[in-house]
Amino acid sequence: MAQARAAGAHPVPATAPASPAPMAVIDRLMQPYEGDVPGAALLVLKDGKAIVRRSYGRSDLERGTKSSPATNYRLASVSKQFTAAAVLLLAQSGKLSIDDPVRRWLPSLPPAADGITLQHLLDHTSGVLDYEDLMAKPFAGQISDAGVLALLEQQDRLNFTPGSTYRYSNSGYALLALVVERASGQSFPDFLRSRIFKPLGMRSSLAYVADGPSIRHRAWGYSEQDGIWQRTDQNAYSAVLGDGGIYSNIDDLARWDAALYDDRLLDDAMRARAFGKQVKVSGDPEATYYGYGWRVNQDGSRQWHSGESIGFRNTIIRWPGQHLTVILLSNRNDPTPYQTALEIGTAFLQAADP
């Protein structure tokens, strides 16, 4: 449905003032999200406090619902850091080892998977085939994590020898969600809720399944087609949980960010592995490495991950040395928010150290 542009966003007071220069940067960069268009939520955290907490645009164009900090967005691949943390929690408690062969937990995978370990799945060096390429076109309904396994069971081949190179893999994280279920004896959504979301007070976050709990304050995804915003909230891949099926909001993600600085979930060793430079990412314009659900720059001073799925674009960027985090969630297919969040974060870094 086409929507006329309306004036103004839906600002929310921050808990502490920000300097004028960064706020001018924010006003300029976030202007496309303002008004009667698919919106966004922006959070800037400094030393554990929200210095910017704003929302823009609409979470539901058809109903005219304004976005708010409580709006829950589909995180897409930002979900991968939670899948990785679930595996690390199980390793920390001795339920599995990062070095376990994947076929220990998923023995129905073909012999080609013999050399794949959980580490290879975590850092995208497994060589498993992309499930998107194996699905029938068109695909009836939606594929699940178990459906991804069923496709891979029929393919006794890999893209490359495990551990030999990097190739981003949604299939690998779908398999990791299934490993979490096998090792914990819980469904993946239940494990996330009981071991991550509930302990951290992330009351609005969930791995969404159609017949499970509903998403409160849900943002619906949109794509611009010929100048008109069309609802494009789900596609055939949207029910896969391990690679991108979590919904959350900026307030819950602030709680998640805080937990990444201490041992309330993961101990020092496990956090070091998550943010470690496990493998070099090829093709990026800057020297980038992949940890477990996180990208890391050359000197480890910046950690981030973005998420893109039909109708949603999100990013979280952390500068742990400065205790600064920028989170930008949006329910639209464009623009990709990484550069926007990076510029916002850089403005705060420069204001602190002119």
Where does CATH 3.40.710.10 sit in the chain?
10-79+188-352
- Does the structure show a pLDDT above 70 at 354? no
Stretch 67-82: mean pLDDT, rounded?
98
What's residue 59's pLDDT? Answer: 98
Stretch 318-324: mean pLDDT, rounded?
98
Q: Are 5 and 37 within 8 A, CB to CB?
A: yes
Residue type, 308: E
- Does the structure show a pLDDT above 50 at 261? yes
pLDDT tens digits for range 206-215: 999 999 999 9
Where does CATH 1.20.58 sit in the chain?
81-184
What's residue 12's pLDDT? Answer: 40
Structure tokens given for 137: 């076109």
- Does the structure show a pLDDT above 60 at 13? no
What's residue 1's pLDDT? Answer: 36
For residues 65 and 17, the model is more confident at 65
281: which DSSP letter? P
Percentage of the chain with pLDDT > 90? 91
Q: What average pLDDT does the chain have?
A: 94
What's residue 282's pLDDT? Answer: 79
pLDDT tens digits for range 163-203: 999 999 999 999 999 999 999 999 999 999 999 999 999 99
Q: List the 73-74 sheet strands across, edge first.
A: 73-74, 246-248, 206-207
What's residue 285's pLDDT? Answer: 77
Give the CATH number of domain 81-184.
1.20.58
DSSP states along 106-163: -TTS-GGGGG-BHHHHHTT-S-PPPHHHHS-SSPSS---HHHHHHHHHT----SS-TT
Global confidence as pTM? 0.94
- Does the structure show a pLDDT above 60 at 6? no
Q: Which residues neighbour 201 within 8 Å (Cβ) at sequence distance 6 or greater?
A: 252, 255
79: which DSSP letter? G
For residues 3 and 138, the model is more confident at 138
Strand partners of residue 44: 52, 326
Q: Are 145 and 240 within 8 A, CB to CB?
A: yes
pLDDT tens digits for range 21-56: 999 999 999 999 999 999 999 999 999 999 999 999
- 10-79+188-352 falls under which CATH superfamily? DD-peptidase/beta-lactamase superfamily (3.40.710.10)
What sign for the dihedral angle of Cα 14, 7, 23, 300? positive
What's residue 256's pLDDT? Answer: 98
* Alpha carbon distance 30, 40 (integer Å): 9
What's residue 89's pLDDT? Answer: 98
